Amino acid sequence: MVSWENVDYLLVRPTQEYFGNSNSRDDHLSSDTNIKAPLPGVVAKIKVRQGELVEARQTLVVLEAMKMEHLITAAHESVVKRINCQEGDQVAKGDVIIELEPNDN
């Protein structure tokens, strides 16, 4: 909250959401099973664990880049097969950060 000339302003940090499927902002970066970093940045938060069942649109990773938080989400219900990063890691555009497998149940 910022006050200026007797007026209060609420500042909100914008977020950008990327979906881990062929309908993502960068079609060549993600598939249904390999979730890739859409841009270079730092892994701020990993929101899932290996073996966890995730729902469509569930946030998997929060990536900090360009002074913004970018939410990396699952496109479909899946199981987390492997996590290829840790919080604080620097990742390059296109790095596979999460591997998913389809939920057959």
Is residue 4 a part of any domain in this protein?
no
Domain membership flag for residue 6: no
CA distance 58 to 47: 9
Domain that holds residue 32: 13-102
Q: How many domains does the chain contain in total?
A: 1
Q: What is the Cα–Cα distance from 74 to 67, expressed in whole angstroms? A: 23
Are the C-beta atoms of residues 38 and 93 closer than 8 Å to each other?
Answer: yes
Q: Which residues is 43 bridged to in the sheet?
A: 63
The pLDDT profile of the chain, 105 residues, written as one tens digit per residue, is 678 888 887 766 655 556 554 344 444 344 568 999 999 999 999 999 999 999 989 999 999 998 899 999 998 899 999 999 999 999 999 999 999 998 876
* Residue pair 44/65 in contact by the 8 Å Cβ criterion: no
In a domain? residue 17: yes
Is 5 a domain residue? no
Q: Is residue 51 part of a domain?
A: yes
